[in-house]
Amino acid sequence: MRTALILTIALCFRVLVIAAEPPLTLPGADQQDHMPLAVGPKKAVVLFFVSPYCPTSNTFVPEMNKIAAEYADNFSFYFVHADPDQKYTDILQHTEMNAIKATVLMDKEQRLAKRVGAKTTPETVVLSAEGKALYQGRINDLYLGPTRRQRQATTKELRDALDAISSGKPIAVAHTDTAGCKITGLK
């Protein structure tokens, strides 16, 4: 009886291990594999969905770089290219021209974009260690629509969310609409 119970437990454990989803690994522009959902010692992971072909996305890259530098102690940052038609050379050029220091990922199969529900560039997703979206949306309200740009931003939703997470407080606004370019190929 005891042997049967041990075999049953072992079989169930084996089934659970086989059924468990492997960690998501994506290639980086640095030609290394990265696990963008692994928070590690940080408080959360910040994913910036970007495109070298989207003017709205490109407008925000300097602010994304500033945020990544200022919040690097508490957060891991990734710039994610999820358009399947983006060329590797264009991604490298975009990274170099914009002096992006954070890890740049290529999500051509859109596994990460689909998993987190990203649909536009620029779009930001902040994930907890458990993979829960703590914040998803825009960086600020510089763009009120795809072609409706203000002179300057009047809000800073992403920074507010990161400040709240850093201090252990609830996030006042956890989701905002985005304005930019659709990530092609997503349904």
Helix 157-167 to helix 55-70 angle, to the nearest 10 degrees?
Answer: 30
pLDDT band of residue 59 (cuts 50, 70, 90) is very high
Over residues 142-163, the mean pLDDT reads: 89
Q: Model's pTM, two decimal places? A: 0.86
Condensed to tens digits (0 to 9), the pLDDT of residues 156-181 reads 999 999 999 999 999 999 999 999 99
Q: For residue 23, say if its preceding peptide bond is cis, omega within 30 degrees of 0.
A: no
The three-state secondary structure class of 143 is: strand
Q: Measure the CA–CA gap between 10 and 17, rounded to whole angstroms.
A: 10
Q: Residue 145: what pLDDT?
A: 74
The three-state secondary structure class of 86 is: coil
Indicate if the pLDDT at residue 3 is higher than 70. no
Q: Residue 117: what pLDDT?
A: 96
Q: Which amino acid is at 163?
A: D
List domains and CATH numbers for the chain: 23-182 (3.40.30.10)
Indicate if the pLDDT at residue 12 is higher than 70. no
Over residues 83-96, the mean pLDDT reads: 95
The DSSP-derived string for 163-184 is: HHHHHTPPPS--B----SEEPT
Condensed to tens digits (0 to 9), the pLDDT of residues 21-57 reads 568 999 999 999 999 999 889 999 999 999 999 999 9
Indicate if the pLDDT at residue 4 is higher than 50. no
Q: Residue 147: what pLDDT?
A: 73
